[in-house]
Structure formats: structure tokens, C-alpha cells
């Protein structure tokens, strides 16, 4: 996989991870951003031309002050697709990225191929309140995101030695920067009324969920299905919210089977 940097028409510098060839697939990352290793993208790149843009505030991408609300986020998604010169790409969105992908698909339903929502944020069920990721103790995050919290913790920190104070500082600052951005569409309740726009969606849709997701529990998969009746739902065992990282092969094969 290789990095490239592009500039959108709005003037946002966006770093994109790119690999493979074939039909274009745009992967939109979660609130945590891309991790150091993203093996599921390598798997997808065997069949597709994969693009994984980093959102403003994440990694080397800049321009976070230019995006303030859900519409800004949604249009930025399409600005990146345009800057990449893609025509009708498939959109695969994970968690916050799923929320953005679904919004993009409602705003411009004829501009995408298929839509894959992976543990997608964007809906709210009073009976299943989503834990507040903005008020967690450091060790709580991995427990919410992964079936295997210990392994997950290592994935999140990307092998950085956090006993080194400078490394810890860098990790802390980067994480504050990412979540500050995510908060613009996820705080205090991750619901920007997407549900009232979903009627516009026409793309064939797959709803993919970790069967053991503790952050956005599988009841939300059923809610997505109720709002998008034509969608297909698949639960993957042995995976929590970070499904693409915990079960990369199962993830890539489910996505591949759906995209064709």
C-alpha cells in the first residue's frame, strides 16, 4: 500500500492510503482513524482498487477547522472522491466512517456503486445507549472495542512504547486531535438525524456487524435493516466493534462476496 496526498477543491490536504487495482472502493475509517497496520485493506486490494482517505485531524491530513457539521463532513467525502477522479466507487464505512458513507449515499444516491456499513454510527436507540467514548478511562476503550482487549490495546497503540514520556505525549496529542474532530458529529449523542434521510438511499447495501460489538451493539444492525429494508445484514463471530481489525479475512471475504 502506498500513501498519496491530494488537495480537495475546498483546500483540504488529504492523505490517502492506496493499493490494488479493479473497481474503486473507498474505505472511510472510524473515529480512531487508520491504525499502523490495516491488513483488511491489503486483503481488499487483491480484488479492488482501494482508497482509504484520512479525515482532517487524522494523521497527516489537515483542514479540521474547515469542517464543522454533518453536511461539511458529507461534502468532504464527495470532494475526496472527486479529487481522486473516481466514478461511482463502492463506499465502505466503519463506525463513524459508516455514518459519513451513509450520509454521502443519501445526499448523492446515484454517485456510488454499493454501500457497506460496518458497525456504523449515526443512529440512536434509547434502549441501547451507546457508551460515551468522550468520557472513558484509558483502559476502558480497548474493552469496548475488541473481543480480545489485550490484543486490541496493542493494535490501538501500534506498538508504541508508552512508558516513554515523549511517545506517550505524541500518542495523547494525536488522539486528542482525532477525537476533537470526531466530536463534531458524534458528541454528545452520535445522532445527526440521518434516519430521516435514509429514504433517499438507492445503493445496494450490506450491513456488517461484529456479533460481539459492545460499543454499538448488534441491535443497531437490526435498526439499520428496518430503515433500509432492501439491505442485507451479516453478523461476524469473534469480532467486536473493530471487526475489520479483529477478523480481517472474514471481513474482506464478506465485503468481496457482496461487492462482486
- Taking the least distance from each CB to other proteins, the nearer of 35 and 174 is 174
Q: Give the shortest CB-89-to-other proteins separation in angstroms.
A: 29
Question: Exposed, middle or buried by CB within 10 Å (0-12, 13-18, 19+), for 95?
Answer: buried
Stretch of 1-9, 75-83, 131-139, 228-236 contacting other proteins, by CB under 8 A: 131-139
Q: What sections of 46-139 are H helices per DSSP?
A: 70-84, 96-107
What does DSSP say about strands 90-94 and 115-118: parallel, antiparallel, or unpaired? parallel
Q: Give the shortest CB-183-to-other proteins separation in angstroms.
A: 5
108 binds other proteins (CB under 8 A): no
175 binds other proteins (CB under 8 A): yes
183 binds other proteins (CB under 8 A): yes
Q: Give the shortest CB-136-to-other proteins separation in angstroms.
A: 6
Q: Give the shortest CB-194-to-other proteins separation in angstroms.
A: 17
Stretch of 42-50, 81-89, 187-195, 238-246 contacting other proteins, by CB under 8 A: 187-195
3 binds other proteins (CB under 8 A): no
Q: CA 200, CA 222: separation in Å to the nearest integer?
A: 19
Q: What sections of 92-187 are H helices per DSSP?
A: 96-107, 140-145, 149-157, 165-186
| Residues in Cβ contact with 80 at an 8 Å cutoff, skipping those fewer than 6 apart | 6, 8, 14, 16, 26, 53
| Residues in Cβ contact with 166 at an 8 Å cutoff, skipping those fewer than 6 apart | none
139 binds other proteins (CB under 8 A): no
- Taking the least distance from each CB to other proteins, the nearer of 4 and 193 is 193
Candidate list 36, 136, 219, 226; residue touching other proteins; CB under 8 A: 136
Across the strands, what pairs with 208? Answer: 118, 234
CA quadruple 152, 27, 208, 220: dihedral sign:
positive
178 binds other proteins (CB under 8 A): yes
Give me the residue label for grid cell 480481517: 248
Q: Give the shortest CB-250-to-other proteins separation in angstroms.
A: 31
Q: CA 59, CA 14: separation in Å to the nearest integer?
A: 9
- Taking the least distance from each CB to other proteins, the nearer of 43 and 103 is 103
199 binds other proteins (CB under 8 A): no
The count of residues interacting with other proteins (CB under 8 A) is 24
Radius of gyration of the chain (CA): 17
Residues that bind other proteins (CB under 8 A): 64, 68, 134-137, 165, 168-169, 172-173, 175-184, 187-189
Amino acid at each position: 500500500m502506498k500513501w498519496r496526498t491530494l488537495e480537495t477543491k475546498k483546500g483540504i490536504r488529504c492523505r490517502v492510503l492506496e493499493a490494488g487495482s479493479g473497481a474503486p472502493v473507498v474505505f472511510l475509517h472510524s473515529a480512531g482513524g487508520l491504525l499502523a497496520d490495516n491488513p483488511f485493506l491489503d486483503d481488499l486490494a487483491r480484488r479492488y482498487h482501494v482508497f482509504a482517505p484520512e479525515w482532517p485531524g487524522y494523521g497527516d491530513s489537515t483542514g479540521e477547522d474547515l469542517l464543522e457539521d454533518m453536511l461539511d463532513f458529507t461534502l468532504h467525502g464527495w470532494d475526496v472522491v472527486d479529487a481522486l477522479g473516481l466514478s461511482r466507487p463502492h463506499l465502505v464505512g466503519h463506525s463513524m466512517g459508516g455514518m459519513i458513507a451513509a450520509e454521502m449515499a443519501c445526499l448523492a444516491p446515484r454517485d456510488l456503486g454499493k454501500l457497506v456499513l460496518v458497525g456504523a454510527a449515526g443512529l440512536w436507540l434509547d434502549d441501547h445507549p451507546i457508551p460515551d467514548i468522550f468520557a472513558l478511562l484509558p483502559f476502558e476503550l480497548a474493552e469496548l472495542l475488541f473481543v480480545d482487549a489485550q490484543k486490541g490495546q496493542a493494535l490501538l497503540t501500534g506498538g508504541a512504547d508508552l512508558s516513554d514520556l515523549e511517545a506517550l505525549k505524541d500518542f495523547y496529542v494525536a488522539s486528542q486531535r482525532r477525537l476533537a474532530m470526531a466530536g463534531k458529529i458524534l458528541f454528545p449523542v452520535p445522532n445527526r438525524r440521518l434516519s430521516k434521510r435514509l429514504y433517499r438511499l438507492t445503493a445496494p447495501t450490506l450491513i456488517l456487524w461484529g456479533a460481539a460489538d459492545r460499543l454499538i451493539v448488534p441491535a443497531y444492525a437490526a435498526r439499520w435493516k428496518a430503515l433500509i429494508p432492501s439491505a442485507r445484514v451479516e453478523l461476524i463471530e469473534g469480532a467486536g466493534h473493530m471487526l475489520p481489525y479483529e477478523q480481517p479475512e472474514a471481513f474482506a471475504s464478506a465485503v468481496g462476496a457482496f461487492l462482486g
